[in-house]
Amino acid sequence: MTYPFQDRLDAGRQLARQLHAYKGRDKAIVLGLPRGGVPVAYEVALALNLRLDVFLVRKLGCPGQEELALGAVASGGVRVLNPDVVASLPGASTIVDEICARELAELERQELAYRDSRAPLDLSGATILLVDDGLATGATMRASAVAVRALGAAWITAAIPVAAEASCESLREYVDEVVAVQTPALFRSVGQFYADFGQTSDAEVRKLLARAHQEYGMER
C-alpha cells in the first residue's frame, strides 16, 4: 500500500510547500498542537524560517469511545463542544465537567513539561500557522483557533497534512484560511494516511522545541 506520508516529519515537509507564501514573514508564528502536531510544525517552521511554539489543547474523549470527541479544551480556559455527540450522551453535563477537569489538569502538566521554563510567545497581532498532523472531527483545531483568537492573533491559518473535507468546511468560520495537502473523499482516521503513525512522546515534543530554540532560534 502506498501512503501519502511516510511519517509526521515527511508530512511537515510536504505541508511547508503549500505554505511558501509565509516564508520569513514578520510576526508569523508556527504553533504545533501536541503531541502529534509538533513534529509536523517543526518541519514547517524550519522550512519557512519562522518561530515555533507549542499550543496546548486536549481532546475530550467520549467514555468508552475515546476516539470520539465530545470536544476539546485549550490554553486560556477555552472549551469547545461537539453538540451532536454531547446530545447523544446520557448525563452529559456531569460527564463533560469531569472529563474537562481531568484534561485541564493534564494541560497544566504539559505546560510545565514542554516549555522548560520558556514563556509562551506573544500572539498579539501575529499571523498564526496552527498545525496538527491531521483533521478528523476538527474539535481540537476549533478549540485552538478560538483560544488563539482570544489571545489577539491577527490572522489564523489552520494547516494540516490531511483532513476530512466536511471538517475543513466547518473550520472555516473559526479561522481565516485552511490549508490541507490532501482532503480525501474516503476518510476513516488520520492514521490511515501515514506509513508510520506511532504516538509522539512528551520527550520528542521537548526535544523538537529545544532544538528549534537552540539551533534555529525559532522560539525567540
Work out whether the CA dihedral 56, 10, 172, 124 comes out positive or negative.
positive
What does 151-164 look like in DSSP terms, one character per residue? TT-SEEEEEEEEB-
**Model's pTM, two decimal places?**
0.85
The Cα–Cα gap between 220 and 211 comes to: 12
Residue 72 to residue 106: CA distance in whole angstroms: 12
**Residue 219: pLDDT above 50?**
no
pLDDT at 19: 98
- pLDDT, tens only, 47-99: 999 999 999 988 888 887 766 778 888 877 778 787 888 888 777 778 888 98
The 10 Å Cβ neighbour count of residue 22 is 21
Joined grid coordinates for residue 105: 489538569
Q: Is the pLDDT of residue 158 over 90?
A: yes
Rounded percentage of the chain residues whose pLDDT exceeds 90:
57
Residues 50, 121: Cα–Cα separation, whole Å: 12
Report which of residues 79 and 184 the model is more confident about.
184
- Whether 173 and 84 have beta carbons less than 8 Å apart is answered as no
